[in-house]
Amino acid sequence: MSAAPKPTALGSSLSSSDEYLSHITLASKTEESYSGLVNFYQGLKFSLIKEVNYDTPKPDHGRTASIKREAWLCLVSKNSDGSTTLRVLLLDNQSPDDAASSKVCHSNPELSFVYKDLDIIKTHLNENNIGFKSHINPADNSTRLSLRDPVGTRVYVSSSSQSFTVPSSPKLPPGSSLESEIDKIASQSGKDTPANSGKIKKRIGVLTSGGDAQGMNAAVRAVVRMALARNCQAYLIHEGYQGLVDGGDKIKNASWNDVKGFLTLGGTLIGTARCAEFREPKGRRIAAKHLVKNGIDALVVIGGDGSLTGADTLRKEWPDHIKQLLADGDITQGEASKYQTLMIVGIVGSIDNDLASTDMTIGSSSALARICESVDAIQSTATSHKRAFVVEVMGRHCGWLALNAAICTGADYVFIPESPPEEEDWETTMCDSLKRSRSAGKRTSLIIVAEGAIDAKTNPIRTEYIKEILATRLGYDTRVTILGHVQRGGAPTSMDRYLGTLQGAEAVEAILRATPDTPSPVIGMLEHKITTQPLKEAIELTKEVAKAIEDHNFSRAAQLRPKSFLTQLDAYREIAYYSPEGVNALPHDKRLRIGIVHVGAPAGGMNTATRSVVRLCVNRGHTALGIHNGFPGLMRGEIEVLDWLSVDTWTVMGGSMLGTNRDQPDPQLGAMAYQLQKYEIDALVIIGGFEGYTGLLSLTRHRKEYPAFNIPMVLIPATISNNVPGTDFSLGSETAINVICNSCDAIKQSASSSRKRVFIIEVHGGYSGYLAMLGGLSGGATTVYTPEDGITLDRLYRDVTHMRQHYEKESGHSQGRVVLINEKASKLYTTEMVAKIYDAESRGFYGCHSSILGHLQQGGVPSPSDRVRANTLAVSTIDWIQERCWEGMEIPNEDNVRLPQTQLKRKYRQRVYTPATETSAVIGFIGSKIKFTPTEELVNDTDFEKRKPKSQWWYPIRNLIDVVSGLGYNYYTGEASVNYQSCAIDLTADDLLRLFRQ
């Protein structure tokens, strides 16, 4: 028997140019399981090298439990210079519990070995009654055995180096709702799926077509690296469909390093071009020939709806093209037989965010960021000269960019194609609104216009016409700015990097699980979940928008936008349009006094949320009371009335204009209750992080002692750590991730310019690894260390060796790399210590330094997404508060009711009295919906010691960082093994019809 061990499990594969080395540690808690482990691996032809018994339990690096006994086993390959070393531990039961003790002691509980003769292994397993499952791969008739060792480690034994892929995601059954199915699938995320379950060898081409969009490069990078990690071959097709038609050197075999540096750059590095030839059958036949000659049997197309339609057309015509190419002698019979089908997967790259069946497209986040940067700058000069600016943004049939830009920049008016002005004389309505704002003291006027803006009769609304109206009717000094292709430029935001990476990876997964009958899918995002959708139906829905606008069916056009579109539009108009009497003034008996307080560390979006709350209050007749300096400020009575103009510029302000701190209310509950009564506060809006959550919980639990706390109270989560239960996103978290991305870009540039350097970058987050994880994925980190994973010596050894392998392969190149570490990832392995370990183990291939970003992550201008989310949450909060307050203002007839002496009759209590538990809540984004969750219901999902939710939606992307950084990919042999489980939800055509044609 000749064993060729090439361990492919993540965490155990450590190789250099002339050796395969792997050191794996397994731990057990009982003598029985210890002996079982030793015997089990001896049955797999490991030799027992050394065994030691300790009279006194011995401490072991990287774990809390001491060890009583250990054995070293080794498996030496007869075909290479490598070996696999196995260390088996017996832990001391008297030691503190070790969470990793019963499993394999590295990050991935799977091991994979290759043997030329499996019969000997099978015989041993049968003789010792060890259960296993045998799987045959129909592609090459190779065999793989699947079994578990005595402590539960999944072990794969195969007859050849194989690549296995995950099965298809479950499809939505008829009649089910999208959200319920996504929640159901999320609850099954722990299912046991092998990293590689069959030898599937695909040749995958990737091209970008149509208008460029930031994030396309991230998607190309992910497609190439996921393809290589899945043991497929990747091809870069340059210049879009033109390159496919031209062939030759426009179609290039892609290696791992060919997409190095793609993540941080805007545009598309493989080019895009219009191609008239591809629009004709003859041109598509030439493209088919070039695909066949290069052996490409799958194509990932990144572009807009026109580009994706062209790709689907090519697939439909494929059999006819193959038949004709064979008849013309352009391909051989063998080629015709081998390439009978072509798999197409689409990824939407569009800054307009105009795919009807997805919430976000690649490039839209970055384009919005460019618009906001430009308009924020314009506002400065406009204020200086008291000017009006009319700014045109892209969006021929889609007003998403214009609407969101108006929300983010505090624009006074917006024109979009899906919702034209209803008034025939809209010019007068606009001028009246702008005059009211100027009369209130505002120095500027800003109008955002989508390039496809129309009036109710579908006549175009042009920027020059608006300028003329403002100049002639109002006498305003008006300027027009057309942003144009500025919106396409610049580095992608963290969201587009994240979206491009995740969708690129899922595109490869969709190819690997597809059959010849699978409809061409497009990768999208709904309810904050990645989806695969039938491309044809998705494009048809998108084209329906333009037709609806043409038919004056504007409500239908708006319905085909993200679910939040109409809500955001209504909210924007109420907040932007000022009236001294109130735009939607309520009767006096329904007007409220609403307190607003910031609690915890500052976070981007706090001020935007406050501005929206204040303006809604003013326009509805409520009184907005700003409470300065957190809970202590409430205790001291540092309270003032906020008006419409006082918060005008707060949209772009970072930090906290009201002032904030982490102090809790408990020491001064009585004083706070007094101030609430003194200022007759009917409801309390808390904007803050985990301290705001615990403070709200404290106020709620003291309602019996202090009647003043029996008012509606709601927390709007705002913390960069994103660690508040009851929401997927907290305000400020994306702003912080953008800071981390920009810092990683700058540091890598510096590190590459001098010499080969690695930087260990420490980021905030407390005991939540959200910032490190999302920042690492979008910032291009080689690996990340989080409190959820912890840091062990085995993990450090794996990562250092992987880093060294990078630089060994890149001899002659100078590239900087970064590693992100959460501030509380480990008590022992601090940032400085990790940097020293990397440096000491570099063997001269690189130098290592550390960097702590610190409070940079809390500052800066809020990101567009944080501004939009802040506005959305503020509107929902005021609507919720109104309903709860009005319910609590009802006074029951208690004249004939005998109450305990300690309980006052309702008519003697404060104006609003709501002791019900549901009137104290956290508002948050769950999927794409906004939900209010009572604080008491969140207690069971809260880890108060570590200050974070017990369940975190973002953790599964951890393995994707390993994939795109090359962990598990052997640079010398090209072999790869990844532990990535597809997270996409497969939607059928019926699902789309049910969801979008209601």
CA 226 to chain centre: 18
**Binding positions for ATP:** 211, 274-275, 304-307
pLDDT, tens digit (0-9, with 9 covering 90-100), for 473-488: 999 999 999 999 899 9
What's residue 244's pLDDT? 95
DSSP β-bridge partners for residue 852: 762
Q: How confident is the model at residue 63 (pLDDT cuts 50, 70, 90)?
A: low
164 compared with 409, residue with greater pLDDT: 409
d(CA 276, CA 282): 11
- pLDDT tens-digit map of 107-154: 345 677 777 777 778 877 877 778 787 776 555 567 778 888 888 888
Q: What CA–CA distance (Å, rounded) separates 291 from 204?
A: 10
pTM of the model: 0.80
Tokens of 654: 């970072």
Q: How far apart are CA 500 and CA 351, in angstroms?
A: 13
**810 pLDDT exceeds 80?**
no
Hey, what are 955's tokens? Answer: 């953790």
Q: Give the pairing of strands 920-926 and 713-717.
A: parallel
pLDDT exceeds cutoff 80 at 978: no
Enumerate the known binding-site residues for beta-D-fructose 2,6-bisphosphate.
662, 719-723, 757, 823, 855-858, 947
Spatial separation of the C-alpha atoms in residues 801 and 23, rounded to whole Å: 12
* Sign of the torsion angle spanned by Cα atoms 722, 724, 726, 731: negative
917-944 pLDDT tens trace: 999 999 999 877 899 999 999 999 999 9
Judge whether 257 and 299 are in contact, CB under 8 Å: no
- pLDDT at position 909, please? 59
Kindly report, residue by residue over 490-507, the tens digit of the pLDDT: 999 999 999 999 999 999
CB-neighbour burial class of residue 762 (10 A; exposed 0-12, middle 13-18, buried 19+): buried
Q: In this predicted structure, what is the pLDDT of residue 146?
A: 83
Show the tokens assigned to 737.
Answer: 């991730």
Q: What is the mean pLDDT of residues 571-582?
A: 82
Backbone angles phi, psi at 660, to 5 degrees: -145, 160
pLDDT category at 85 given cuts 50, 70, 90 is: confident
For residue 438 the two structure tokens come to 């100027």
| One-letter amino acid for residue 163 of the chain | S
CA atoms within 13 A on the CB side of 973: 18
- Provide the pLDDT for residue 11: 29
Residues 213 and 307 sit within 8 Å (Cβ to Cβ): no
Catalytic (active-site) positions: 352
Q: Which of 27-41, 62-76, 671-685 has the lowest mean pLDDT?
A: 62-76
Residue 258 and residue 227 in contact, taking contact as beta carbons nearer than 8 Å = no
446: enclosing H helix or E strand: strand 445-450
28 versus 402: the higher-pLDDT residue is: 402
Contact 300, 345 (CB under 8 A): yes
Q: What is the mean pLDDT of the chain?
A: 85
In this predicted model, what pLDDT tens digit does every residue of 225-235 receive, in sequence order? 999 998 899 99
Answer with the residue of higher pLDDT: 93 or 988: 988
- Helix (H) and strand (E) counts for the chain? 28, 34
Q: What is the mean pLDDT of residues 522-529?
A: 87
Residue stretches of the annotated binding site for Mg(2+): 305
Residue range 297-318: average pLDDT? Answer: 93
Can you say which residues are annotated as belonging to the binding site for substrate? Answer: 350-352, 387, 394-396, 451, 479, 485-488
Q: To which H or E segment does residue 778 belong?
A: helix 770-779
Q: Which two tokens stand for residue 176?
A: 């089910």
438 contacts 383 by C-beta, under 8 angstroms: no
| H-run or E-run covering 456 | none
User: What residues are designated binding site?
Assistant: 211, 274-275, 304-307, 350-352, 387, 394-396, 451, 479, 485-488, 662, 719-723, 757, 823, 855-858, 947
Distance CA 285, CA 278 (A): 9
User: How does pLDDT run across 434-492, given as a tens digit for each residue?
Assistant: 999 898 888 999 999 999 999 988 899 999 999 999 999 999 999 999 999 899 989 99
Burial class of residue 326 in the structure, from the number of CB atoms within 10 Å of its CB (0-12 exposed, 13-18 middle, 19+ buried): middle
